[in-house]
Amino acid sequence: MTANDPVLRAAAHHAQVLGQIGGWNPSTTRCVLDGLVTVLTGLPAGERVSLSEVRARPHRWVSRPRLIDVLIDLDLLHDDSDPAIKSWIDRVTSPFSPGFIIPVRQWLLILLNGDARARPRSASSIYVYFGAIRPFLDDWAASYDHLREVTRSDIHAALGPLSGSRRATTISSLRSLFGFAKKRGLIFSNPTIRLKGRPADFALLPMADEEIRAIEQQAEDLAGRVIIALAAENAASTGAI
């Protein structure tokens, strides 16, 4: 069944080798070979199989992990799955009205992916940035239809009770969001222009326990919460983490 397809023939041979090395039983090997036929037959030269196809197309008896191992070894797999952070971005922005969803979601995606002017940020940084301003976004979205309606007075009212590192982080997040929205033409004016923190806000002090816990809850998984805790409690650098 593989004689006329060199890619399928090579994949079948590699699967049999892996089966011998890994001690697969004959039934498992046959099912993996069946899965290779399903996903590789008709595949154009030079293209790879998407992970979503591997998960959906082969029959249920095929071991997906072993099939994936074969395809990865031969550089025949394209991972088209969204990382967890993208699903998290969709989830946390979906309750907003369209006037808030669009700018906030686009801002978070730019933080994640970067652009010509900015490098991508880590997932933990994105959790912290969004966690710092989410309460204010919730309040503004309940009163306004669009982010562009937020005024400088609203910004100062939000920052009024804050101090120290929490205030500094919130200022950085607000400036990032509104600066992005202004550059993209999503708002008419930037209410955070000339917004500065007090010198004491930028002292390298540990965050309070309740602040750490509040931001940790923005993380989608345990790894994200651990990273936030390391950064907040021990001032651990990215390299150290």
* Whole-number pLDDT of residue 204: 44
- Crossing angle of helices 123-143 and 164-183, in 10° steps, is 80
Query: Are the CB atoms for 207 and 166 separated by under 8 Å?
Result: yes
Q: Which of 231, 223, 240 is closest to 206 using CA atoms?
A: 231
The residue ranges of every structural domain in the chain are: 6-78, 84-234
Query: Are the CB atoms for 123 and 85 separated by under 8 Å?
Result: yes
Side-chain-side CA neighbours of 108 within 13 Å: the count stands at 25
Query: Are the CB atoms for 182 and 190 separated by under 8 Å?
Result: yes
Overall pTM surpassing 0.85 (yes/no): no
Q: Mean pLDDT over residues 61-76, rounded?
A: 91
Rounded to whole angstroms, the Cα distance separating 148 from 144 reads 9
b/e per residue 125-136 (b: at least 16 CB within 10 A): bbbbbbbbbbeb
Q: What is the DSSP string of 191-235?
A: TTTT----GGGGS--PPPHHHHHHHHTT-SSHHHHHHHHHHHHH-
Instruction: Identify the three-state secondary structure at position 75.
Output: coil
pLDDT category of residue 234 using cuts at 50, 70 and 90: low
Lowest-confidence region among 25-29, 213-217, 235-239: 235-239
- Crossing angle of helices 6-22 and 64-73, in 10° steps, is 120
Sequence-distant (6+) residues with CB within 8 A of 90 are: 105
* Whole-number pLDDT of residue 172: 92
Query: Are the CB atoms for 71 and 54 separated by under 8 Å?
Result: yes
Sequence-distant (6+) residues with CB within 8 A of 175 are: 192, 195
Q: Over the stretch 19-61, which tens digit does the pLDDT of each residue have?
A: 998 889 999 999 999 999 999 998 888 899 998 899 888 988 8
Q: Is the pLDDT of residue 114 over 70?
A: yes
Strand partners of residue 146:
99
b/e per residue 183-207 (b: at least 16 CB within 10 A): eeebbeebbbeebebeeebbeeeeb
Query: Are the CB atoms for 160 and 136 separated by under 8 Å?
Result: no
pLDDT category of residue 120 using cuts at 50, 70 and 90: confident
* Whole-number pLDDT of residue 175: 95
